[in-house]
Amino acid sequence: MRTTLRWLGRGSTVLILLVVAALATVYAMSEMRMRRTWQVEASVPPVPADAAAIARGEHLATIRGCRGCHAPDMGGATFIDSPPFAKLSGTNLTPGKGGVRLSDEALVRAIRHGVGSGGRSLLFMPSQEFAALSESDMGDLLAYLHSLSPVDRELPPNQVGPLGRLLFLAGKVPLLPAEVVDHATRPAQPQPGPTAAYGEYLAAACKGCHGPGLSGGHIPGTPPNWPDAANLTLDPTGLAAWSEVDLRRALREGVAPGGRALKADFMPVRETRHLSDDEIAALYAYFRSLPPRVRGSR
């Protein structure tokens, strides 16, 4: 009996040491990538100061999802609070206490390239969706950021837990945008209007959840119990039978054909309901141009 207990004790010790070694390896490998620095050129467009530009910038911050992570008042918010995975907060972008005071060059570098102060990559900033933001839209967005009223809000430091680091190393979570952004991408020059070309430009904001090919399926890095993102292609499991009216109702009211309510915690209707009629028409034209893809093929 004593021999058995002794072997069990030794086995437990070995197992604990292996787990500690594995965690140390995961931490060291992830930290090495997270500490990498990036040297990128950030081209700052002209920044208007008129009320129309500021209003347009506010509209862009809304429909592009900035307020989902930075809060409706842009004073920052914790958007992931799961210690095994991560605790992440969107920065307070106002001039209030706890806010950051960045130059336009630093803002463009963060928005388009996902690179923060010191040259390190930001965490979970969806810069791949903003890399091709047009010069005009970037200028308006900067004009809006300049106009923000102070919000006093101090946020906890960002932390990535062991599960988040492991998923990152396994390629399941795009934790570092600077690694995935094509830093040579040039700003797009879209002509606003109800066209498929403009819809493609707007749909960049959809690809974080619905995938590069917009076929939906499980969102990488999310828990298994999260609902799949919808297929936005013309596959029968997607939007093949949807009309533009159906899409408008889904984006503005969170209701799919047949009266099915979309899950408000996952589909950002609070943001998409602000899309204009022309923007929704453009998205619909673009979605109708996509070849059918099997749901989940990303």
Residues 175 and 205 grouped into a single domain = no
- Give 12-18 contacts, CB < 8 A, sequence gap 24+: none
Q: Same domain, yes or no, for 214 and 145?
A: no
Which residue spans within 91-178 are E strands per DSSP?
Answer: 159-160
Retrieve residue 162's tokens. 């062991």
Which of 188, 42, 56 lies closest to 103, judged by CA? 42
In a domain, 152, yes or no: yes
Say what the pTM is: 0.88
Q: Are residues 175 and 204 in the same domain?
A: no
Mean pLDDT, the chain, whole residue set: 90
**Do 55 and 176 fall into the same domain?**
yes
CATH number of residue 207's parent domain:
1.10.760
Per residue of the chain (298 residues), what is the pLDDT tens digit?
556 656 555 556 666 666 667 778 888 999 999 999 999 989 899 999 999 999 999 999 999 999 989 999 999 999 889 888 999 999 999 999 999 999 999 999 999 999 998 899 999 999 999 999 999 999 999 999 999 999 999 999 999 999 999 999 998 888 999 999 999 888 888 899 999 999 999 999 998 889 889 998 888 767 667 788 889 998 898 899 999 999 999 999 999 898 988 876 678 899 999 999 999 999 999 999 999 998 877 6
User: Same domain for 101 and 206?
Assistant: no
CA 252 to chain centre: 20
Helix H or strand E segment including 79: strand 77-82
Domain presence at residue 3: no
Question: Is 277 part of any domain?
Answer: yes
For residue 200, tell me if it sits in a domain. yes
* 151 and 209 together in one domain: no
Q: What percent of the chain has pLDDT over 90?
A: 65
Q: Indicate whether 85 and 127 sit together in one domain.
A: yes
Q: Are residues 256 and 147 in the same domain?
A: no
Which of residues 180, 205, 236 is at a domain's end?
180
Domain C-terminal end among 148, 180, 212: 180
Domain count, the chain: 2
Residue 207, domain extent: 196-289
Same domain for 162 and 260?
no
